Amino acid sequence: MDSRHELGIRAESDAAQWFSRQFQARLLARNYARRYGEIDLVFEIQSAGEAPELVFIEVRARTAGGWVNGVESVTPRKRARLSRTIAHFLAKYRGPAKSARFDIMAWDGRAWTHLNNVWLE
């Protein structure tokens, strides 16, 4: 395994743990893949008194000092592929969630950036 792949695997694991603790979330899927794309993490969260919400998370990891940060690396083409994969997941989902959102979690080599509800097409 090359170091970039290892960095990605570690980042996804760390992001899943961080998000679970931060939001008391339940992990539904990890690396949900279709031939046209992959969603890194899918969670179901529920705030007190509210209906559950699905959260689709794209995890991006970069080493410190990279040319492009993790958030900028989610290109329009990547978003289109993610949207198709999310639509497939939603078509099969039979849980209690009534809403969905898309988050990005980016590791820059030093700290996490969590962008909440970035977009969902």
49's torsion region: left (phi>0), alpha (psi -120 to 50) or beta? Answer: left
The per-residue pLDDT for range 1-45, each reduced to its tens digit, is 557 778 788 889 999 999 999 888 999 999 999 998 999 999 999
Q: Where are the domains of the chain?
A: 3-115
The per-residue pLDDT for range 67-106, each reduced to its tens digit, is 555 556 667 788 888 889 999 999 999 999 999 999 999 8
Structure-block tokens of residue 112 = 């996490």
Query: Which of 3.40.50.800, 3.40.1350.10, 3.40.50.620, 2.40.30.10 is the CATH number of 3-115?
Result: 3.40.1350.10
pTM of this structure: 0.86
Mean pLDDT of 108-117: 83
Q: Could you tell me if 85 and 37 are in contact, meaning their C-beta atoms sit under 8 angstroms apart?
A: yes
